[in-house]
Homo-oligomer: A and B are copies of this chain.
Amino acid sequence: MPQKVVIVGAGPVGSLAALYAAVRGHDVEIYELRPDLRDPDTTPLNFAKSINLALSERGINSLRKTGLPNLAHAVLGETFPMHGRMIHVRKQGKYVREPQLYDARGKNLLAMDRAGLNKTLLDQLESMPNVKFFFNHKLVGVDFRKQLAWFERHTKSDDAARGTEIELRFDFMVGADGAHSAVRYHLMKFVPMSYQQEYIDKLWCQFHVPPTPDGGFRLPPNYLHIWPQDESMFIALPNLDKTFTATLFLTRTGFEQLDASGKVVEYFNQKFPGVVPDLITEDELRKQYSTNQHLPLITIKCTPYHFGSSGVIVGDAAHAMVPFYGQGMNTGLEDVRVLFEFLDKYPDDPATALNEYSRQRTPDAHTINDLALRNYHEMATDVKRPMYLLRKWIEETLDLYLPRAGWATQYSRVTFSNMRYSEVHQRAQRQARILNSVVGLSLATLVGTGFLFARSGAAQRAKMGILRSICWVARRAQGLFQG
């Protein structure tokens, strides 16, 4: 029996949820606070509000599973493959670029424009007869028990219209209205929800890198470029139009010091070699630094995600995360797939479906949330370290030569598989324990051999040097698989 499904939020996650509901024959209404981003009269998209995206397996799989054969194709056509990271550092005073492939089998991340993905999904929805759009509508109240919602028409240019309120009845509401979700706010009044949010001590500021004068890319295009500087980091992702979208991550104090001193160019020259003036002129850097907002990064965990059979939150509304694993939107799209799999599994018992959804999805969302927080360290520090690369090499080599044993890096499982995040994390920990034991045994052998060799008569100073080297390796190797 078709139901009235109300989706709040017409971003990529909300639009995908609307598609899943629409292909199941429900009457779908989508309410969105902002104007239609495809409307030419609309002021340009608030570009600064989202880093451009890295689409990966979970997102693509969720598009595929809509049952609309051309959708994933249409989306993939607008992406740009990134085979790996390109690390930009100074070594012995010399600027070097070091490529690191993401995957031993050559899998890619796909850079894409959030607005492009959103448009493709909205266009698809537009063609479906059982879908209605309500842009410029602000959610002002929900009663999940009576299944009533109140929206206010909310156009900024026309204040007289403010306050026109509509009441509507729904069977099922999906809140996909982002980190500051109004649906979640109202849901909390109906369900005892554990909730926590933190702002991490990093702000971000976006920069635009134009094409070269002859219309080419200013950097090798098939990489996610990283300038890792521990407490700060600069990254650049390619776009289809030969530009890059770049982002500076820095502590609040760091931004305040740059604001006070005005020495942005000097800071970039010191920390991020090859940026000024190769990618962006001094003037442009200064201008964009002061014009583009310095925005905070929030991380949110909560549970449960639903009330009875009448409402659920997905995407950032349920688990906003920091962007360092590139999984925020992929997790949101995956939410939709998992949610509708449960609804399909219990067609006559949506309350059980939602309950199962919350129960399964909570540990997965919490896990990727934690991994994303930790991944700042991997991106801004570890990628420079030989021991990190050694571990990556060991795991990838095992994966290539022992494919049946199921070795893979945590990164690869997060990004290139659909394994539950919580299971990815458990496997990574088990793998680390095994490898640590192997390393332990190897070290014991090495130390034993070294000791025999040292006893066997080499000069005293050589002996000590060798033993010291072994100890150094042992210490580093101990830390190798802790992450």
Whether, in the assembled complex, A95 has its beta carbon less than 8 Å from a beta carbon of chain B, the answer is: no
- Which of B164, B193, B194, B199 is the one whose CB lies under 8 Å from A194? B199
Contact B188 A199 (CB under 8 A): no
Q: Are B189 and A197 in contact (CB under 8 A)?
A: no
- A199 B189 Cβ-Cβ under 8 A: no
Cα distance A25–B162 in the bound complex, in angstroms: 34
* A300 to B, closest residue via Cβ: B195
Residues of B within 8 A of A164 (CB): 163
**Option from B140, B195, B199 in Cβ contact (under 8 Å) with A197:** B195
A interface size (C-beta, 8 A)? 19
- For residue A84, CB closer than 8 A to chain B, the reply is no
* Distance A197 CA – B185 CA, assembled complex (angstroms): 13
Q: A165: which B residues are within 8 A, CB to CB?
A: 162-163
Interchain CA distance A163-B150 in the complex, whole Å: 10
Contact mask A182-211 → B, CB, 8 Å, 1/0?
000100110011111111000000000000
The docked-state distance in angstroms from the alpha carbon of A193 to that of B296 is 11
Is there a chain B Cβ closer than 8 Å to A180's Cβ? Answer: yes
Q: Which residue of B lies closest to A154 (CB)?
A: B141
How far apart are A362's CB and chain B's nearest CB, in angstroms? 14
Q: Is A51 an interface residue (CB 8 A)?
A: no
Chain copies in the assembled complex: 2
A188–B296 Cα distance when bound, in Å, is 12
A351 at the interface (CB under 8 A from B): no
> Does A432 count as interface, using CB distance less than 8 angstroms?
no
Known A140-B140, A185-B185; contact A192-B162, beta-carbon cutoff 8 A = no
Q: Is A115 an interface residue (CB 8 A)?
A: no
Which partner residue on chain B sits nearest A182 by CB separation?
Answer: B185
Interface string of A233-251 (1 = CB under 8 A from B): 0000000000000000000
**9 A-B pairs (CB sep. < 8 Å):** A163-B163, A163-B165, A180-B188, A192-B298, A193-B197, A194-B197, A194-B198, A194-B199, A195-B195
Residues of B contacting A199 with CB < 8 Å?
Answer: 192-194
Please, which residues of chain B bring their CB within 8 A of the CB of A189? Answer: 180
A318 CB to closest chain B CB (Å) equals 15
Give Cα A188 to B298, complex, Å: 11
Residues of B within 8 A of A163 (CB): 163-165
Given the complex, which residues of B lie within 8 Å of A188, measured CB to CB?
180
Taking CB atoms and an 8 Å cut-off, the chain A residues in 260-297 that contact chain B are 296
Q: Contact at B193–A196, with CB atoms within 8 Å?
A: no
Write the nearest CB–CB distance from A92 to chain B, whole angstroms: 40
Report A285-329 CB contacts with B as 1/0, cut-off 8 Å: 000000000001010000000000000000000000000000000
With both beta carbons as reference points, the residue of chain B lying nearest to A296 in the complex is identified as B192
**What residue in chain B is nearest A164 (Cβ atoms)?**
B163
- In the docked arrangement, what's the CA distance between A193 and B196, Å? 10
Contacts of A296 in B (CB 8 A): 192
Q: Which residue of B lies closest to A200 (CB)?
A: B192
A50 to chain B, nearest CB (A): 17
Q: Which 4 pairs, one residue from A and one from B, show the smallest C-beta to C-beta distance?
A: A196-B196, A192-B199, A163-B165, A192-B296
Q: A180-B189, A194-B197 are in contact. List 12 more A-B contacts (CB 8 A).
A: A163-B165, A180-B188, A192-B296, A192-B298, A193-B197, A193-B199, A194-B198, A194-B199, A195-B195, A195-B196, A195-B197, A196-B196
* Nearest CB on B from A188, distance (A): 7
Q: Which residues of B contact A185 (CB under 8 A)?
A: 185
A27 to chain B minimum Cβ distance, whole angstroms, is 25
CB distance from A184 to the nearest CB of B (A): 10
| A458 CB, min distance to chain B CBs, angstroms | 54
Cα distance, A199 to B194, chains bound together (Å): 6
Interchain nearest-CB distance for A75 vs B (Å): 31
